[in-house]
Amino acid sequence: MENLNETIFGVIIILIVFIWTVNNIIIYSNISEEKEMENLLNNYAKIICQQIIYNKEFKNPSEDPQNYGIKDNIKIYIQIKEIENTNEGVKEKILFESSKKPLINKGEYVGAYIDKTLIIVRVVVYV
Amino acid sequence: MYKTAQARVIEAILASFIIFSSLLISSNYLQTNAVNFNKNQDNRELASGILSYLIQSGIATDVYNSKYDRILDFLEKAIPPDYGYRIEAYDENLNLLWYHQRNNFDKTMCNSSYIILNGRNGTEYTNILIIVLCISK
């Protein structure tokens, strides 16, 4: 009887470790994929933001990813804001804003361009 | 037979130990090489751009007069509401003179940039001030 009990105990330990291992691998795999996707979208957002700043397309930037050399099927949200320090105080003005705001699966980058005013370019990429 | 069963339990515990330790070692190895789990959004460029404009527009020199309203008004408009920020002013001995932060600022997920002020309107000042801007998302 003791023999049987100890065998069952041994089998249970092995099962627990096996389930724990499988569970960890699944969790790790899921997190890796999510993080990879987030990093990829963040990089896309950075590329788009830097191209908008480089080309100074602040009033009517393209919302088509292919125009930025991105072939993946992604959507882009762009907000461009101009902030100026005047004698009457600090004034802000929206130069451009995409119509649709994303909710999930996004990468983001905010860049700044300085001329006589400060221009803040915010790009959100989502799938 | 009794000793055989005991040996199985010891083997099972030993096997568990080997699996646990190999998983711990391999997960650390995979974490640093395949995916960077701690990589957060890079806000350094934004912080640097905002500080550069604060100098260019002359707003940054308000710190010399301990007037911070214009700086805070500017930061509230320049930094998106879902981003946190913390601005700090230090003297030349790195003593904290003043700071302000948004409620949603997260110090574990921030990038920072700084400027060193040593004059105003073309006049050199003896007291040097350092302004640090940290932005988090």
Q: With beta carbons less than 8 A apart as the criterion, state whether A102 and A122 touch.
A: no
The total number of structural domains that make up chain A: 1
| Most confident of the following: A18-27, A95-104, B35-44, B47-56 | B47-56
Residue of B nearest to A82 (CA): B78
Name the token pair of A121: 């370019």
| C-beta atoms of B73 and A90 within 8 A | yes
What residues of chain B, 32 to 91, have a C-beta less than 8 Å from chain A?
34-37, 39, 41-43, 45-46, 48-50, 52-53, 56-59, 70, 73-74, 77-78, 80, 83
pLDDT per position in chain B (137 positions), as tens?
567 777 777 887 887 788 777 777 776 665 544 444 445 567 888 899 999 998 888 888 888 888 888 899 999 998 988 899 999 999 888 889 889 999 888 888 888 899 888 866 666 666 788 999 999 88
Angle at alpha carbon of residue B55, lines to A110 and A91, rounded to 5° = 60
Separation between Cα atoms, residue B5 and residue A5, nearest integer Å? 9
| C-beta atoms of A35 and B35 within 8 A | yes
Q: Model pTM?
A: 0.72
Q: Residues A8-19, buried b or exposed e (16+ Cβ, 10 A)?
A: eebeebbeebee
Q: Which residues contact B123 (CB under 8 A, 6 or more apart)?
A: none
Instruction: Identify the H or E element spanning A125.
Output: strand A118-126
